[in-house]
Amino acid sequence: MSILSSEKILVANVPVSPQHYIDGKRVNSANSFEVISPIDETSLGSVAAGGADEVHAAVAAAKRAFPEWAALGPKGRGVYLRRLADVIESHIEELAIVETTNNGSLLEASRLRVMKRGAHNIRFFAEWAEKLEGECWESNGVQYQVKYQPTGVSALITPWNAPFMLTTWKVGPALAAGNTIVIKPPEWAPFTCSLLADFAEEAGLPPGVLNVVQGIGEEAGAALTQHPDVARISFTGSSETGRIIGKVAAERVVPVSFELGGKSPLVVFADSNFDLAVRTAVGQYDNAGQVCLAGTRILVQEEIADTFLEALKNAANNLILGDPRKPETNVGPLITREHMERVKGFVERAKAEGATVAYGGNVSEDVGGLYFEPTLFVDIPAHAEILKEEVFGPVLTLQTFRTEEEAIAMANDTEYGLAATVFTGCEERAARVGSAIHAGTVWINTFFARDLKAPFGGSKKSGIGREGGNWSFEFFCDITTISSRVGSFTKK
């Protein structure tokens, strides 16, 4: 491996290092891979492709840095993490344009919300760790105390649809807990994670505390999850990849936290706020449908179904499909040619199985090769694949129900359980339905509300574990119970 600390490429005129970041240094690899912008399918440059050697170096660096980082305690680590959050906030504009150029997400959303959330993630967990004292109580003459202890090196593997925000979601609690980390960015969108390494250096994080190894999942990702010195694995991505990682982790009895796929229901009762429900339904096309939380299965009560369908059609017709850098754009491109073919395959198979296209259903060739029209299927056979599997594209289905019981049964008729959204004007019904749906998060008359104090994660095929508040630290920490006989000490 050779150190190339000064070589950078320009991504939307922002200098970004294409190298790994290991032990406080930029490190190159013998191999590389090309990164393509989904906006126009042009090359953004080649980045270093890591494998077992780079992963070993990064984990070794993190292991060396761990004792000193852990010994700082929550307050000492908080100084560095608050500084990191400040650095992120000073680079919002660069982060936003780089991520949009890299993964095709809407620039306005990145600038106004998503990148700021990255700084919030870091700062929130730094502050929460300082409050995490652990419980203490006395029972039958014995005093019990619960301690949250750092565990060692954490492997953080992040997805391409919101790489910076979802990386900081893991980085914040892992570092605040006292662990050191190795990040494996998504190969389709690695650049904002590379910038995060620069920000960590600017914030003064000690070498080895935060490391970034770029590469293909089957190479860098596999080497990282198999490494014997990794104490925790946090992964966000597909259920299929989650199963592979889970098998490897099980062999070494390494705790895992998985946020996986979704096939979430969006349930609309006749007594709901109709306009709000329609706006929320059409909002599921956000990020070209490349959102694991998206309510892609729209379930509407029969008496309002026809009116709802017409309103949804009108709302979808007003969406602008195009360049995500333009403020008027509502729906941008799919991430890669490979992913486009996957989405097209789902649409074609749905048609072949007898589902009816209410609108959309085609690639928008006049806009570009990776732009797929917002699409809605109706009159779908109950056995159809489109109702069962995650498409991860701008494709929704609409079904109708008669009763509350039928709505609950349809909402739960999936192997996934990441999220659900329910619209109703009845508070009692909201409580009943919200409790009956099997999902990690159920939103009532709102969507995408996310407070970091609340637990977040998936049920069933959608994941293992919860993130947020104490739940994050229960994963990233070893929890120790210290039991002492009261009155047994003769000295202080």
Q: What are phi and psi of 292, to 5 degrees?
A: -65, -25
- Domain-ending residue, one of 401, 418, 444: 444
For residues 332 and 403, state if they share a domain. yes
For residues 275 and 215, state if they share a domain. no
Task: Give the separation between CA 406 and CA 402, rounded to whole angstroms.
Answer: 7
Helices (H), 381-484: 404-411, 427-436, 469-476
| pLDDT, tens digit (0-9, with 9 covering 90-100), for 78-126 | 999 999 999 999 999 999 999 999 999 999 999 999 999 999 999 999 9
Q: Rounded to whole angstroms, what are the CA distances from 418 to 264, 389, 464, 476?
A: 7, 13, 10, 21
Q: What would the mean pLDDT of 175-191 be, rounded to a whole number?
A: 98
Task: Give the separation between CA 183 and CA 23, rounded to whole angstroms.
Answer: 13
For residues 124 and 20, state if they share a domain. yes
- The residue range of the domain holding 249 is 9-260
User: At 119, which CATH number?
Assistant: 3.40.605.10
Q: What are phi and psi of 173, to 5 degrees?
A: -70, -35
| pLDDT, tens digit (0-9, with 9 covering 90-100), for 200-230 | 999 999 999 999 999 999 999 999 999 999 9
User: At 359, which CATH number?
Assistant: 3.40.309.10
pLDDT number for residue 464: 96
Active-site residue (options: 187, 259, 373, 390): 259
The structure tokens 């660096």 sit at 61
- Any domain includes 271: yes
Whether 477 is catalytic: no
Q: CB-side exposure of 6: number of CA atoms within 13 Å?
A: 0
What's the mean per-residue pLDDT of the chain?
A: 96
| pLDDT, tens digit (0-9, with 9 covering 90-100), for 313-368 | 999 999 999 999 999 999 999 999 999 999 999 999 999 999 999 999 999 988 98
For residues 224 and 296, state if they share a domain. no
- Any domain includes 490: no
| pLDDT, tens digit (0-9, with 9 covering 90-100), for 3-40 | 344 589 999 999 999 999 999 999 999 999 999 999 99
- Any domain includes 477: no
Beta bridge partners, 359, equal 376
**265: burial class by Cβ within 10 Å (0-12, 13-18, 19+)?**
buried
- Any domain includes 455: no
For residues 392 and 434, state if they share a domain. yes
For residues 109 and 150, state if they share a domain. yes
Whether 426 is catalytic: no
pLDDT number for residue 310: 98
For residues 278 and 174, state if they share a domain. no
SS3 185: coil
Active-site residue (options: 193, 292, 390, 474): 292
pLDDT number for residue 492: 76
Task: Give the separation between CA 402 and CA 205, rounded to whole angstroms.
Answer: 57
Task: Give the separation between CA 409 and CA 401, rounded to whole angstroms.
Answer: 10
- Any domain includes 16: yes
Amino acid at 395: V
State the total domains in the chain.
Answer: 2
For residues 287 and 253, state if they share a domain. no
